[in-house]
Structure 1
């Protein structure tokens, strides 16, 4: 399966909606999309993985790399995920303590507004 990426703006956040598989073959596209956003001055990013069917360690590495980049600008990178299989990956790797993980994009935005 391929990877599709769509970016939209919501209340000052850049929301990257990801669908498909994030693996060693497709992760570079996500890395490039995040890098382009961050380099163009957008330091508050939400990555919506609700339509992601598969996520491997390469994909996790891309998300961690994106988080490091935005933190250099006092930014944020949150993840929207309710899929049990993906949440388990974040839990096993300890990344639930690193990322803000939310059930909806609106919840992620609200966490920064409150």
Structure 2
């Protein structure tokens, strides 16, 4: 039996300059976190650095936590910045829902003339490769530079 649906929540991104602060959910100036039914957190923080909008994610991206990442991606694409960086190096698991969000964001960015750079860790790169979406998501760019191989 499926769990009952959860009520609506405010999933607007929190602005944060330092990803190293931890998993404290909903504190002033910190991470916004969501927990799935198994208690697995996803923390998302955004950092507007003037010319670059950065989205950081830490945890697991799946059907129940994906709306948090989706809201941050939408904020980045609506920020008016020419470059959006999605830092997923701390994501330990991503399912097809998360990959779908990244694909949609990549297409939307291209239509808007925004450069979207995805910094993928091992979990994201592996799932994208299994779905044959490495090139589509632009992950070959970071892998070719050698910056993600040690993740």
Q: Tell me which interval the TM-score lies in, with the shorter structure as reference length.
A: 0.7 to 0.9
Work out the CA distance in 2 between the residues paired with 1:55 and 1:34.
15
Deviates more, 1:58-67 or 1:11-20: 11-20
* CA apart distance, 1:71: 1.1
1:112 is matched with none
Instruction: Specify which of 110, 133, 136 is matched with residue 95 of structure 1.
Output: 133
4+ residue segments displaced more than 3 Å: none
| Contact 1:43–1:70 (CA under 8 A) maintained in structure 2 | no
Q: TM-score, normalised by structure 2?
A: 0.61
Flag the 1:100–1:9 CA change in 2: closer, same or farther, 3 A. farther
Q: How well do the aligned residues superpose, as a CA RMSD in angstroms? A: 1.9
> By percentage of residues, which structure has more strand?
1
Instruction: Specify which of 87, 96, 108 is matched with residue 57 of structure 1.
Output: 96
Structure 2 unmatched ranges of 5 or more: 1-39
Higher RCO (Cα < 8 Å, 6 or more apart): 1
Deviates more, 1:27-36 or 1:8-17: 8-17
| Contact 2:77–2:109 (CA under 8 A) maintained in structure 1 | yes
Structure 1 unmatched ranges of 5 or more: 108-114
| Contact 1:44–1:70 (CA under 8 A) maintained in structure 2 | no
1:86 equivalenced with 2:99 (yes/no): no
Q: TM-score, normalised by structure 1?
A: 0.78
1:16 equivalenced with 2:55 (yes/no): yes
Q: Secondary structure at the match of 2:118?
A: strand
1:38 equivalenced with 2:85 (yes/no): no
How many residues end up aligned between the 2 structures?
103
| Contact 1:49–1:81 (CA under 8 A) maintained in structure 2 | yes
Work out the CA distance in 2 between the residues paired with 1:82 and 1:34.
17
